[in-house]
Amino acid sequence: MRILITGVDGYLGWPLAIHLAARGHEVAGIDNYARRGWVGEMGSQSAIPIAPMAARLHAYREHLGQNLRFYKGDLADYNFVLNAYRSFRPEAIVYLGEMPSAPYSMLDVHTALYTQQNNVLGTLVTLHAMRDAVPDAHLVKLGTMGEYGTPGVDIPEGWFELDYRGRKERMLFPRRAGSWYHQSKVHDSHNVEMACRLWGLRSTDIMQGVVYGTAIDEIEGRPELATRFDFDQAFGTAINRFCAQAVIGLPLTPYGKGQQRRGFLALRDSIQCLTLATESPPESSDYRVFNQFEEVYSVMELAERVQRIGNESGLDVKIHPVENPRTEAEVHYYNPDHQQLLDLGYEPTHDMDAELRKVFRDLLPHRDRIEERKESQFPDIRWDGSRRPSELLGR
């Protein structure tokens, strides 16, 4: 298949391109290096060094024996996107090109506006360019489990049958997001669903859990193919940030009670699932939603697991919960479905310990890069718009 990945320079986009090429697909990518810029704005950098795009493309060709067709530009620019589609004629578009951080979106009015503008308009341009150039292509759109929030009821995969006052209708399940970033994904979901309904496009919307890890088979042992690894307060997600903290001897800092429950999955599982979704397109007009994660854990369970694996590696890992900078429920019901990817053949890794050992293996040589930017991992972006470092809490 001809598959175009937006955000191909990112944490998921780069390994996905490699994995799809290794499976024999022809891959193109779009990026404007915005992720490198956002992390720089947070005073941080990728813990694992990543090459500039020209060097990445060279390494890709060396290892995979084909070119990655790379288009540099802004996804909110209709003419640029239309040109890329007309030139590459993708059969699938994996849309990862969004600003992915809740804290960054809550920083101030400017980052809030930027987040919704970048994400919502980029997707809207994509829908129009698909309609105009590749109406039969499959849009694999990256959403987030955070679209649902944490309601006190089970969470189906996107749709449900509403039984209301004696009548029934298949409806989108109500969303209740908790940041401007998460809301931007809710808006995307509504826009994409409408484009499928009115224009006959086809899409899989991926409600993804929190991804952790450094490894997919095609990357291991090839540092020139490595993907980025962030640990700052905005772009470093829970498990990854814990691992980076452990590596430089900082305590792991779950927020508040640490009883927040979320779906998590390893990087290799994310890549596996995105591949499964891409290789099994839905029918025209179908807006399909997958909840994509391996298992639900509490943040504290994960901190304890990172502690155990870190201690095995000879580190002395402490856990010090800090004041929660977010406004969120810390103790809540959480029971989301996740069946459809299993039905497509998803084989979950299950061995989180092995994945964490690989993270430590890959991070330890870059201890200095984390140490040099360690201030960036202390949370101080508050959901109320203020900027105030979180205090340590008693455990």
State which of positions 311-370 bind its own copies (CB under 8 A).
Answer: 327, 333
Q: Does residue 386 bind its own copies (CB under 8 A)?
A: no
Q: Please, which residue, 2 or 187, has the CB nearer to its own copies?
A: 187
3-class DSSP state of 51: coil
How many CB atoms within 10 Å of residue 168?
Answer: 9
Of the candidates 29, 125, 94, the residue with the CA atom closest to the CA atom of residue 281: 94
Of the candidates 17, 3, 9, 12, the residue with the CA atom closest to the CA atom of residue 270: 12
State which of positions 145-164 bind its own copies (CB under 8 A).
Answer: 151-154, 160, 162-164
Q: How many residues bind its own copies (CB under 8 A)?
A: 51
Q: Are 244 and 47 in contact (CB under 8 A)?
A: yes
Q: Please, which residue, 194 or 354, has the CB nearer to its own copies?
A: 194
Listed ranges 11-19, 48-56, 62-70, 188-196: which one lies at the site for its own copies (CB under 8 A): 188-196
Q: How far apart are CA 243 and CA 238, in angstroms?
A: 9
Q: Does residue 73 bind its own copies (CB under 8 A)?
A: no
For the question of residue 181 being annotated catalytic, the response is yes
Q: How far apart are CA 387 and CA 146, in angstroms?
A: 23
For the question of residue 227 being annotated catalytic, the response is no
Question: What is each CA distance from 169 to 114, 222, 301, 333, in whole angstroms?
Answer: 36, 51, 39, 26
User: What residue type is assigned to position 115 of the chain?
Assistant: T
Q: How far apart are CA 258 and CA 324, in angstroms?
A: 9
Q: Does residue 165 bind its own copies (CB under 8 A)?
A: yes
Q: Are 226 and 220 in contact (CB under 8 A)?
A: no
Listed ranges 65-73, 173-181, 234-242, 293-301: which one lies at the site for its own copies (CB under 8 A): 173-181
Listed ranges 3-11, 168-176, 311-319, 357-365: which one lies at the site for its own copies (CB under 8 A): 168-176
Q: Does residue 310 bind its own copies (CB under 8 A)?
A: no
Q: Are 350 and 294 in contact (CB under 8 A)?
A: yes
State which of positions 189-248 bind its own copies (CB under 8 A).
Answer: 190-191, 193-194, 198-199
Q: Are 304 and 214 in contact (CB under 8 A)?
A: no
User: What residue type is assigned to position 366 of the chain?
Assistant: H
Which residues face 255 on adjacent strands? 322
Q: How far apart are CA 28 and CA 67, in angstroms?
A: 9
Q: Please, which residue, 33 or 333, has the CB nearer to its own copies?
A: 333
Binding mask 110-129 for its own copies (x = CB under 8 A): x-xx--xx--xx--xx--xx
Q: Please, which residue, 56 or 382, has the CB nearer to its own copies?
A: 382
Q: Does residue 385 bind its own copies (CB under 8 A)?
A: yes
- Minimum Å gap between C-beta 116 and its own copies is 6
User: What residue type is assigned to position 295 of the chain?
Assistant: E
**What are the φ/ψ torsions at residue 259 (nearest 5 degrees)?**
-90, 5
For the question of residue 150 being annotated catalytic, the response is no
Q: How far apart are CA 251 and CA 141, in angstroms?
A: 36
Q: Does residue 109 bind its own copies (CB under 8 A)?
A: yes
Q: Does residue 95 bind its own copies (CB under 8 A)?
A: no
In the set 181, 212, 287, 297, the catalytic residue is 181
**Chosen residue from 48, 186, 219, 239 binding its own copies by CB under 8 A:** 186
**Chosen residue from 6, 32, 101, 183 binding its own copies by CB under 8 A:** 183
- Minimum Å gap between C-beta 282 and its own copies is 19
Give the residue carrying structure tokens 């224009």: 199
In the set 6, 85, 185, 214, the catalytic residue is 185
Residues that bind its own copies (CB under 8 A): 76, 78, 109-110, 112-113, 116-117, 120-121, 124-125, 128-129, 131-132, 151-154, 160, 162-165, 167-169, 171-178, 180, 183, 186-187, 190-191, 193-194, 198-199, 327, 333, 383-385
